[in-house]
Amino acid sequence: MQNFNISFFRKILYPSVILMILMTLLTGLAYPLIITGISQSAFPEKANGSLIWKNGKFIGSRLIGQNFSKPGYFWGRPSATSPHPYNAAASSGSNLGPTNPQLVDNVKERIARLRKADPGNDLPIPVDLVTSSASGLDPHISLAAANYQIKRVARARNMPENQIRELIDKYTEPMRFHFLGEPKVNVLELNLALDKMETATVYKKGT
């Protein structure tokens, strides 16, 4: 019996333990270190989360949307994350089906909010301004959604509409591989550029 146990350990358990240790070192240590080294060398900005800094202060990521509600800023897609919008720790959609009355009520409420914020705007409201994304974190809006908001933003900032339209064109990202998806705009980057443009304009007028 003792010889059987020793033989079993040598033939079965010993190789299994050695293989487990080797695979743990390979997949749990060596592989992550190699991939981290490659990513930090090849594209460090993306590997670190595509972070955005302003005056040495971290203010957000290009990959995660933020909740803008002031009339002088472009608004992103609605977010269904809880307990607050764009909560990266609780990525989720609303999970409301197309026949759910709550979905209809949510869309009607968002339409009313957009109309109230810009009563003179009779353009059709783009669907991405009244429906949340599956992740609840989408940082982009469609080009149509950005153009819809030009009048409100221009009025709130007392800026020419064509100046804001040019800024949108500058920050419009093309279709992926030029045939997937549609042109889009990163809301955070656009709003930061808007602040920068307004500051530069005020400074220029004051000099």
pLDDT tens for each residue of 105-140: 999 999 999 999 999 999 999 999 999 988 999 999
pTM, two decimals, is 0.80
Residue 187 contacts by C-beta under 8 Å, 6 or more apart in sequence? 65, 66, 68, 74, 75, 76, 139, 140, 141
Distance from C-alpha of 145 to C-alpha of 184, rounded to nearest angstrom:
9
Among the residues of the chain, which ranges form H helices?
Answer: 2-8, 14-25, 31-42, 44-47, 101-117, 143-148, 150-157, 161-170, 187-206
pLDDT in tens, 18-33: 889 999 999 999 999 9
CB 158 within 8 A of CB 202: no
What residue ranges do the domains of the chain occupy?
2-46, 49-206
Res 5: pLDDT: 66
CB atoms < 10 A from the CB of 91, how many? 16
